[in-house]
Amino acid sequence: MNTLATNPGFTIPGSEPLFDGRAWTAIAAFLIATLVVVPVLFLVVPASSSFHVSAYFVTLVGKIMCYCAVAVAMNLIWGYTGILSLGHGVFFALGGYAFGMYLMRMIGREGQYQSLLPDFMVFLDWKAYPWYWSFTDHFWVAMVLVVLAPGLLAFVFGFFAFRSRIKGVYFSIITQALTFAFMLLFFRNDTGFGGNNGFTDFKRILGYRIADPHTRAALFALTAAYLMACLVLSRALIRSKTGRVLTAIRDSENRLMFSGYNPLWYKLFVWTLSAVLCGIAGALYVPQVGIINPGEMSAANSIEIAVWVAVGGRGTLLGPLVGASLVNGAKSYFTQSFPEYWLFFLGLLFILVTLFLPKGVVGWFREKRKAAA
Amino acid sequence: MNTPGDDLRSGETSGLGHMMQAGVDTSHGPILYLEDITVSFDGFRALNKLTLTVETGELRCIIGPNGAGKTTMMDVITGKTRPDEGTVFFGQTIDLTRFTESEIAHAGIGRKFQKPTVFENHTVVENLELAMKTDKRVRRSLRARLSSEEIGRIGATLDLIKLSGEAGRLAGVLSHGQKQWLEIGMLLMQEPKLLLLDEPAAGMTDHETARTAELFKELAGSHTLVVVEHDMDFIASLASTVTVLHEGSVLAEGTLDVVKSDERVIEVYLGR
């Protein structure tokens, strides 16, 4: 409070409020819509009513909100810190697989072979769970794994990469290699994660049937709340001094080092945080979509994440949300109407955004408003 | 005049204090001691058995033609480049070749780059805040709040570098000379004992240059300054010892008048 006692004649860094009144209202409106309105329209309003919201819509929006959270995480590392990761798909998938292990064990004897083991293990003629499946039938163990698996991988990988001062395009390339290597690993049947089919046919989560509309509505609401939590966390981080150090890494890492900061720990911190946020989004994604397979770790998937952030606007708070929603909205339309043209469209979109909207949709709007003012 | 760098508190522990607990020991005179430093890049000897001593509180100018090794010398002192041979001591005890850039900055060496390097997307105040001497680890920065004493220090530096009117502007929109001053201000916020300044007056108006020379003379004594410059008028106004570098070693040393009349210096540098 002593900062208020003196009048220094300038704005004290970090003293502005977390959000202004309008932003808080928008967050509240979003939460009311996703936590109350949509579940009521989905569960209570009869299917015959034109106000009824379909299960398809709930799943689609739930999925897109997971992607939005991934984009927020990506924006932390790329938009604010200037480190382009083309391997964020691996963290998303690891979170998904970690929670998928729990979901697989909750199938119990309801699988094709009525075994306690998942079908793919029976198929491989395995007699028992491998050691790394230990305790995954406990929900909280699975939750811990959701954080630890992507977090540890990111920490170890990041430590060696950042300590060796690997930067720019070289870093991007090795993150591509990382996700590709993990995809190959998970494709192997012997790895014990279901090979190229991955995990699917989930039945229950915490005793509730996964296909039950109430479970779907709960997962939907949880995802919405998580997305808002990511947004608030991201804003709080960027507003802190650590946030200012991160953008300083992006703009002039040399100056920062000669000012007495060791960029290694700052990069490692935001890199690991970003990976964990992705992993949790992956864990929310899997029960809603009902499948996780190594395709999530494909190189193209990780590049798509970068495209979302580029389209929305790097280094802006709302950009990742806008970008992930726009691109995925377009994707679900295209893959239904013109499935063969989707990748062409995605490529074209990336080129157009790079050429004409270097600051993304949000950056473009911001500049227009500034010009008008 | 009371500059922000004056109130160095010796007992304060820096963020990396466990690595350099003692701080710089200058009880025996020199603050910077380079001996037989050699640095080669692909067979090219940027520094060739360079030996140089800078006394505590001194204001030293370094001149020399392009490629004489001035910037490489600064890279070696600040930990950016490791010498192939030779030793660099900061005070009596700190062997700089064993530390990283950020550790050396913490130990009390501030560096201004040839091209003014500030955080362009941060405001002037935020630039000073980031440079300020404090615990610079992630954990601390997450919850860092400026104390009123720290705000006062930022305000004093703003006055000193004449940027109080620009405090809330982005550093990227400042003029070239203002960026130079902001960077000097950032160095002072670090509370360094030794300042390395690479062409600090480049791009400044005559008035700004004169003001900078004045500032440097004020800082000398309480700080040690090593200035690399090309502008002879600026060097003359500093009235300091001048070291001439040529092909990676010291060619001559003395007052500006002495080195100006040295025949070898005229041949390689001034006469051209």
ipTM for the predicted complex: 0.89
Asked whether residue B221 is assigned to any structural domain, the reply reads yes
Query: Is the CB of residue A131 less than 8 Å away from at least one CB of chain B?
Result: no
Query: Is the CB of residue A266 less than 8 Å away from at least one CB of chain B?
Result: yes
- With 0-12 / 13-18 / 19 or more C-beta atoms within 10 angstroms meaning exposed / middle / buried, residue B254 is middle
- Looking at the DSSP bridge assignments, the partners of residue B44 are B41
> Which parts of chain B sit beneath pLDDT 50?
1-19, 21-22
Asked whether residue B15 is assigned to any structural domain, the reply reads no
Q: Minimal Cα–Cα distance from B26 to chain A, Å? A: 21
Asked whether residue B17 is assigned to any structural domain, the reply reads no
pLDDT tens digits for A151-179?
Answer: 999 999 999 999 999 999 999 999 999 99
Q: What is the CA radius of gyration of chain A?
A: 22
Asked whether residue A37 is assigned to any structural domain, the reply reads no
Asked whether residue A339 is assigned to any structural domain, the reply reads no
Asked whether residue B214 is assigned to any structural domain, the reply reads yes
pLDDT of residue A347: 86
pLDDT of residue A6: 54
Determine the average pLDDT of the residues in A45-61. Answer: 91
- With 0-12 / 13-18 / 19 or more C-beta atoms within 10 angstroms meaning exposed / middle / buried, residue A30 is middle
Contact B186 A259 (CB under 8 A): yes
Asked whether residue B59 is assigned to any structural domain, the reply reads yes
Query: Is the CB of residue A2 less than 8 Å away from at least one CB of chain B?
Result: yes
Asked whether residue B71 is assigned to any structural domain, the reply reads yes
Contact A241 B130 (CB under 8 A): yes
Q: Minimal Cα–Cα distance from A163 to chain B, Å? A: 12
The total number of residues written for chain B in this structure:
272
Contact B105 A258 (CB under 8 A): yes
Total number of domains in chain A: 1
Asked whether residue A342 is assigned to any structural domain, the reply reads no
Closest B-chain CA to A255: B117
pLDDT of residue B271: 58
Q: Minimal Cα–Cα distance from A43 to chain B, Å? A: 42
Asked whether residue B31 is assigned to any structural domain, the reply reads yes
CATH number of the domain at B57, please.
3.40.50.300
Asked whether residue B140 is assigned to any structural domain, the reply reads yes
pLDDT of residue A372: 86
pLDDT of residue A216: 95
Residue A266 and residue A82 in contact, taking contact as beta carbons nearer than 8 Å: no
Residue span of the structural domain in which A283 resides:
54-294
Contact B118 A247 (CB under 8 A): no
Determine the average pLDDT of the residues in A99-107. Answer: 95
pLDDT of residue B270: 60
Determine the average pLDDT of the residues in A251-261. Answer: 93
Residue B250 tokens read as 């010291």
pLDDT of residue A5: 44
Total number of domains in chain B: 1
pLDDT tens digits for B195-239?
Answer: 999 999 888 888 889 999 999 998 998 899 999 988 888 999 998
pLDDT tens digits for B157-181?
Answer: 999 998 999 999 999 999 988 999 9
DSSP per position, A32-78: HIIIIIHHHHHHTS-TTSTT---HHHHHHHHHHHHHHHHHHHHIIII
Residue whose tokens read 């703003």: B158
* A residues 3-22 closer than 8 Å to B (CB): 3, 5-6, 8-14
Neighbouring residues of A168: CB distance < 8 A, sequence distance ≥ 6: A84
Contact A248 B122 (CB under 8 A): yes
Beta-carbon count within 10 A of B208 CB:
18
pLDDT of residue B224: 94
Residue span of the structural domain in which B265 resides:
26-270
Neighbouring residues of A240: CB distance < 8 A, sequence distance ≥ 6: A14, B141, B142, B143, B144
Phi, psi angles (nearest 5°) of residue A352: -65, -45
